[in-house]
Structure 1
Amino acid sequence: MSTPPHEEDDFAPSSTPGYKPGGVKNVDELAQLDAEDESLARWKASLGIVPGAAAAVASGPKVTILSLELASPSMPADKTLSMELANPAEMESMKKNPVHIKEGVLYNVRIKFKVNHSIISGVKYIQVVKRSGIKVDKMEQMLGSYGPTPTGEPHVKNFPEEESPSGLLARSGTYNVRSRVVDDDGEIYAGT
């Protein structure tokens, strides 16, 4: 499903003036860069970049977004709202059956994702909230840079606590929330 052109501006990630992402390099090329820098070597190793390691076969998406969750301290732990984004049937069900959230509730957004191959850098989660077609909130959070994990373990990122809208005006209406995961190069990994 594509986003209408006028909504693309809502999902434009913020950028730092003068910053230009580097060119795409494979794992072996990255391992050889600045090989004498010990701290950089440790950081590369944490991303799975080691000299002589064969690069993973680049098939399928670089990143798979597994789930998006809303967790609240006012809800029992077993009542955390989880949307399994890898399950198309569940996504269709979520579109037909909107989620109801009480006003003034504190909640955290949590995203679970897996890096399949390659190195991803500067990955951001962008969430736009609209009411009656008018943007009322935009959240942009940095996920970071990751390499594929040999065990295939997913990464989990918890975002700072937010409060759902409250008051008379907040009660009368429906909010439409859309989100996107994008990297420094503008590559979109997921969007809802």
Structure 2
Amino acid sequence: MTEKAPEPHVEEDDDDELDSKLNYKPPPQKSLKELQEMDKDDESLIKYKKTLLGDGPVVTDPKAPNVVVTRLTLVCESAPGPITMDLTGDLEALKKETIVLKEGSEYRVKIH
């Protein structure tokens, strides 16, 4: 039996240092449209992209951040129904609303 030397633990902050040690260079960033246009002759990649993105056209707003959260829903078994907060409306009015949860109650948050 051969013994391997233990590998050093890598902290998350050392990612850039590790990348330079591994000589990793990330590929150039491409737009979603460029990615969709690539590999049009590869049937398996077309199917894979449809699985990820869906069949319809992908509409993107270049000014919007990567993720836009429009609603939050609190779902709790002991509550009479889900509590939905619309984040596209008046946020100042939403900040004034109070939601009270019993201590120890279990709930889930759905992000839309």
Q: 1:24 to 1:107 in 2, by over 3 A?
A: same
* Distance apart, 1:21 and its partner CA: 6.5
Aligned with 2:85 (options 83, 86, 94): 83
Cα deviation digits, residues 58-114 of structure 1 (max 9, x gap): 45425432101111111122xx22111111x2x2123223321110101011011xx
Distance between the aligned counterparts of 2:59 and 2:108, measured in 1?
A: 34
Q: Corresponding residue for 1:42?
A: 47
Q: 1:59 to 1:22 in 2, by over 3 A?
A: same
Structure with a larger share of its residues in helix: 2
**Which aligned pairs between 1:146-161 and structure 2 lie closer than 5 A?**
none
Q: 1:30 to 1:69 in 2, by over 3 A?
A: same
More divergent stretch after superposition (102-111 vs 19-28): 19-28
- Two-structure CA RMSD over aligned residues (Å): 3.7
Q: Does the alignment pair 1:74 with 2:61? A: no
**Which aligned pairs between 1:124-139 and structure 2 lie closer than 5 A?**
none
Q: Corresponding residue for 2:29?
A: 24
Give the aligned residue type for 1:71. Answer: V
Q: Corresponding residue for 1:110?
A: 110
Give the aligned residue type for 1:36. Answer: D
Structure with a larger share of its residues in strand: 1
SS in 2 for 1:24: coil
Distance between the aligned counterparts of 1:41 and 1:35, measured in 2?
A: 8
Structure 1 segments of 4+ aligned residues over 6 angstroms from their partners: none
Distance between the aligned counterparts of 1:23 and 1:102, measured in 2?
A: 49
Q: Corresponding residue for 2:64?
A: 61
* Distance apart, 1:45 and its partner CA: 1.6
Indicate if the aligned counterparts of 2:39 and 2:46 stay in contact, CA closer than 8 A.
no
Unaligned runs of 5+ in 2: 1-11
Q: 1:20 to 1:83 in 2, by over 3 A?
A: farther
Give the share of equivalent positions with the same residue, in percent. 29
Distance between the aligned counterparts of 1:85 and 1:106, measured in 2?
A: 23
Indicate if the aligned counterparts of 1:27 and 1:49 stay in contact, CA closer than 8 A.
no
SS in 2 for 1:109: strand
Cα deviation digits, residues 102-157 of structure 1 (max 9, x gap): 10101011011xxxxxxxxxxxxxxxxxxxxxxxxxxxxxxxxxxxxxxxxxxxxx
